[in-house]
Amino acid sequence: MQPIKVLVVEDSMVFRELLVQNLNRDPAIQVVATARDPYEARDAIIAHKPDVMTLDVELPRMNGIEFLRKLMPQYPLPVVVISSLSDKVFDALNAGAVDFVAKPAVSSREQLEAFIQTELLVKIKIASTANISQIKQKAMHQMEQSSAFTAKGGDLVVAIGASTGGTEAIFSVVQNFGTDIPGVVIVQHMPPGFTNMYAKRLDNQCRVIVKEAETGDQVKPGHVLIAPGGDRHMRLVKVNGVYQVECKAGPKVNGHCPSVDVLFDSVAKVAGPRALGIILTGMGGDGAKGLLEMRKAGARTIGQDESTCVVYGMPKVAYDLGAVEYQEKLQDVAKRAYAVLNRM
């Protein structure tokens, strides 16, 4: 198997060399070029045709976000952004980056090397499998206000899970939810600190109210709760007849915390047939078994189709298990959700 050809774009010479040395230690990776700014990066892309590019957001001569917006229409390729704790990372994802890693706020060489070996390498390998057509032209189809929620009863809940490519996929779905949508709970694999910024960003751009979840938050119509990134799993519970979430520390499940499976399992047990589960783009199989448990409990389920996934991993595993009732293109997921909810 040919190694993954990587272009490293980083203006810090010390960090750039550290990236090159550590990435090249993995036999599955070959750093074919480095660049200090977007102009050098563009030339390197043309000359070396890398499979994946790592990109710092703060660069001289042109910032990384502007570079992505100019680059993607002409030279689409998977990009992993290396970012400090900043909401600029979501601008980068919107501009076409596949994923991001949080740059560690440490100075020790050992800690930086551990970050590269345990986090960045994994993201690069996942990015190398990304659907290029979705990078070039994202399915950000805007639905007109197509449906109103007319089902009776306030005991319905919508649970959504996603990973690689999920920040934009979730936005594509949630922006089409009106204030009449039943309470929504979401797990998106993301480092600590970024989920709060992501929730605020969605809250500013969508009609529903979006916040990072805290234990005791009620799951109610027109509200979206996003599981906090880090070391806590989010579960649905029912207290005095009212849906709430519980965010508690626990070991990783399927390599993730929070885990989509943990959320979906809890929804299956607590809401049963009064729930809708949606699984979106992402690497691996987190959420697939939980979605199957939801379906066995009588819930309705939707999976994103291969053609619109950045990485057709989680939805594929769920589909192969028989957990997906409806398979939809990303731009049709919200419409299908309303149609299903109105029959519940």
Catalytic residues: 163, 189, 286
CA–CA dist 14, 19 (Å, integer):
9
CA–CA dist 322, 342 (Å, integer):
23
DSSP 3-state of 238: strand
Q: Which structure tokens are listed for 208?
A: 């529903």
Of the candidates 308, 334, 135, the residue with the CA atom closest to the CA atom of residue 224: 334
Q: Is the peptide bond before 78 cis (omega within 30 degrees of 0)?
A: no
Give the length of the chain. 344
CA–CA dist 280, 188 (Å, integer):
10
Helix axes 64-71, 88-95, angle to 10 degrees: 10
Of the candidates 210, 228, 233, 205, the residue with the CA atom closest to the CA atom of residue 220: 210
Contact 41, 7 (CB under 8 A): yes
CA–CA dist 19, 70 (Å, integer):
25
Strands (E) in the chain, as ranges, are: 4-9, 29-35, 52-56, 79-83, 99-102, 157-162, 183-188, 209-212, 223-226, 232-239, 242-249, 275-279, 300-304, 326-328
Residue for token digits 């950045």?
310
Contact 327, 301 (CB under 8 A): no
